[in-house]
């Protein structure tokens, strides 16, 4: 049966909707590049101060995605408040129809003789590489390059810009929370290596990191968790303050995770790195938690851990003698916020939930990414699910407008089962057109497991 033609009239999105920032642009352009659905975005970043418009980070994403899907772009300039993005045709099947592989992908032979498809995205400023990744990672994960031999070649992506930027996912958050969670839902074999840190604090600097996507079939599912909970802290600060961070973290963790200010019976690992600059202070705290009711699902013998995180790149003015106060504030806030995440029974933290939306929308079948329960009121009435953040609601809105999928308040979605061979709705017909059909099915299966019985356990 012939599929319906891809729409020629662009879907129009008002960039002031909900969160009204860059996330709307990144998700819309990624879905447009994958599905060939043209999109027009007006009032770009209309809820941001200074009038909004495209910044260097957004333009880097526009240009990269335009190359991979041969898109016609209007308004792709710095400061532009209106953007038209019209892909040439379905691009998860890139390389067919005699067009060849887009120039952003190049074959490279490494020193050990192995071969990879190499791609780069250079922001050109200290703009967030973590945010730019949100626009292009789904495209890479749902795309196959042509030729049976090349399909097994890893894809290596290097992003250049800021690796530690205020208000955005850091390199550390990506490697310790995002990538393990993606592995849980089927995207295994993604490894990361840091080239150089790039900062938005203490004077801007440009850094880079590289992600390599291996053949996922070579990876095993995560082993069943054995520990109920463990904590790991990443501290990046001048070496002179490392011990102060450790002490403040120990005090705050005992206060929130212990009982009567006694040390909690939770394994804690702290990694410290010298930032070499007085104004660069960063703290990430990660909780690795087990499923609440593993025995409820005996057929799932390899349930994953959940990874919840909270961090803070200190963005306030530090007085000449004010580091102890800043460190105490950082430790107290990060530990307190992470304790709230863990206590809620969530399988994803607030910031990861909105990053998972696009994978739920593209996956096949019903999935649930449970974001936890609200705190009980004084009357002890039944808890209700936490409301999605404004960022999560924005991501869900874009996916609904572009793909027709819907999310309920509990993070439940019926995905389109994207397979690369689109019919204009984002729905695919399987692995022949590009995306690995097995991976799409595995994505749905593993995403559904993310709730791991938490809802039933917490409600009882």
User: pLDDT tens for residues 174-191?
Assistant: 999 999 999 988 898 899
Q: Is residue 430 part of a domain?
A: yes
- Which of 91, 108, 138 lies at the terminal end of a domain, its last residue? 91
Q: What is the pLDDT of residue 277?
A: 94
Angle at 81 between CA 79 and CA 86, to 5 degrees: 110
User: pLDDT tens for residues 122-180?
Assistant: 999 999 999 999 999 999 998 876 643 545 688 999 999 999 999 999 999 999 999 99
Sign of CA dihedral 33, 39, 42, 46: negative
Residue 400: burial class (beta carbons within 10 Å; 0-12, 13-18, 19+): middle
* Judgement on whether residues 320 and 244 belong to the same structural domain of the protein: yes
The domain tally of the chain equals: 4
User: pLDDT tens for residues 71-100?
Assistant: 999 999 999 999 999 998 644 444 434 356
Report the alpha-carbon distance of residue 115 to residue 156 in Å, rounded: 10
β-strand pairing of 268-274 with 229-237 = parallel
Q: Is residue 1 part of a domain?
A: yes
Please write down the HEC assignment for all residues of the chain.
CCCCCCCCCCEEEECCCCCCCHHHHHHHHHHHHHHCCCEEEECCCCCCHHHCCCCHHHHHHHHHHHHHCCCEEECCCCCCCCEEEECCCCCCCCECCCCECCCCCEEEECCCCCEEEEEEEECCCCCEHHHHHHHHHHHHHCCCCCCCCHHHCCEEEEEEEECECCCCCCHHHHHHHHHHHHHHCCCCCEEEEEEECCECCCCCCCEEEEEEECCHHHCCCCCCCCCCEEEEEEEEECHHHHHHHHHHHHHHHHHHHCCCCCCCCCCEEEEEEECCCCCCCEEEEEEEECCCCHHHCCCCCCCCCEEEEEEEECCCCCCCCCHHHHHHHHHHHHHHHHHHHHHCCCCCCHHHHHHHHHHHHHCEEEEECCCCECCCCCCCCCCCECCCCHHHHHHHHHHHHHHCCCECCCCEEEEECCCCCCCCCCCCCCHHHCCCHHHHHHHHHHHHHCCCCHHHHHHC
The residue segments making up the domain with residue 330 are 229-303+305-343
* Judgement on whether residues 102 and 208 belong to the same structural domain of the protein: yes
Tokens of 426: 């984002």
* Judgement on whether residues 397 and 434 belong to the same structural domain of the protein: yes
Report the alpha-carbon distance of residue 50 to residue 43 in Å, rounded: 13
311 falls in which pLDDT band (50, 70, 90)? very high
Residues facing residue 442 across a β-bridge? none
Pick from 208, 104, 212: nearest CA to 161: 208
pLDDT mean across residues, the chain: 82
Which has more pLDDT, 270 or 425? 270
Report the alpha-carbon distance of residue 26 to residue 58 in Å, rounded: 7
* Judgement on whether residues 126 and 33 belong to the same structural domain of the protein: no
Q: Is residue 349 part of a domain?
A: no
Q: What is the pLDDT of residue 386?
A: 86
Is the per-residue pLDDT at 403 higher than 90? yes
- Which of 203, 222, 241 lies at the terminal end of a domain, its last residue? 222
Q: Is residue 209 part of a domain?
A: yes
CA atoms within 13 A on the CB side of 38: 19
Tokens of 392: 């999560």
pTM: 0.86
Is the per-residue pLDDT at 428 higher than 80? no
* Judgement on whether residues 451 and 424 belong to the same structural domain of the protein: yes
Report the alpha-carbon distance of residue 434 to residue 182 in Å, rounded: 20
User: pLDDT tens for residues 318-357?
Assistant: 877 689 999 999 999 999 999 999 988 888 999 999 999 9
* Judgement on whether residues 87 and 100 belong to the same structural domain of the protein: no
CATH code: domain of residue 272: 3.30.360.20
* Judgement on whether residues 324 and 418 belong to the same structural domain of the protein: no
Q: What is the pLDDT of residue 444?
A: 46
């Amino acid at each position: 049966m012939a599929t319906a033609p891809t729409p020629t009239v662009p879907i129009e999105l008002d960039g002031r909707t909900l969160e009204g920032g860059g996330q709307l642009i990144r998700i819309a352009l990624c879905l447009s590049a994958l599905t060939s659905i043209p999109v027009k975005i007006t009032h770009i970043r209309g809820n941001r101060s200074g009038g909004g418009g495209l910044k260097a980070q957004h333009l880097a994403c526009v240009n990269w995605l335009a190359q991979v899907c041969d898109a016609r772009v209007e308004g792709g300039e710095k400061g532009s408040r209106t953007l038209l993005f019209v892909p040439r045709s379905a691009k998860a099947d890139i390389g067919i129809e005699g067009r060849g592989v887009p120039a952003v992908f190049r074959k490279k032979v490494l020193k050990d003789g192995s071969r990879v498809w190499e791609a780069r995205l250079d922001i050109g400023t200290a703009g967030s590489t973590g945010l730019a990744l949100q626009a292009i990672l789904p495209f890479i994960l749902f795309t196959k390059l042509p030729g049976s031999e090349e399909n097994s070649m890893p894809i290596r992506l290097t992003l250049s810009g800021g690796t530690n930027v205020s208000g955005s996912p850091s390199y550390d958050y990506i490697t310790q929370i995002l990538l393990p969670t993606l592995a849980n839902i089927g995207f295994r074999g993604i490894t990361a290596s840091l080239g150089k840190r790039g900062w938005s604090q203490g004077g801007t600097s440009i850094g880079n990191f590289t992600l390599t996507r291996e053949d996922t079939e070579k990876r095993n599912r995560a082993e069943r968790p054995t520990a109920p909970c463990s904590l790991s802290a990443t501290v990046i600060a001048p070496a002179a303050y490392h011990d102060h961070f450790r002490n403040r973290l120990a005090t705050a963790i005992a206060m929130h995770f212990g009982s009567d200010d006694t040390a909690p019976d939770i394994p804690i690992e702290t990694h410290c790195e010298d930032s070499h600059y007085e104004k660069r202070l960063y703290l990430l705290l990660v909780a690795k938690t087990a499923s609440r009711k593993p025995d409820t699902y005996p057929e799932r013998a390899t349930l994953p851990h959940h990874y919840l995180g909270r961090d803070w790149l200190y963005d306030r003015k530090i007085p000449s003698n004010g580091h102890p106060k800043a460190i105490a504030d950082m430790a107290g806030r990060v530990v307190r916020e992470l304790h709230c995440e863990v206590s809620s029974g969530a399988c994803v933290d607030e910031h990861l939930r909105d990053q998972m939306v696009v994978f739920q929308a593209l996956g096949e079948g019903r999935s649930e990414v449970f974001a936890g329960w609200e705190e009980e009121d004084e009357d002890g009435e039944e808890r209700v699910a936490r409301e999605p953040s404004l960022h999560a609601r924005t991501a869900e809105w874009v996916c609904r407008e572009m793909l027709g999928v819907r999310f309920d308040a509990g993070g439940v979605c019926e995905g389109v089962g994207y397979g690369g061979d689109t019919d204009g709705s984002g729905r695919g017909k399987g692995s022949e057109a590009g995306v690995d059909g097995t991976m799409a099915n595995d994505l749905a299966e593993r995403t559904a497991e993310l709730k791991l019985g938490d809802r039933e356990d917490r409600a009882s």
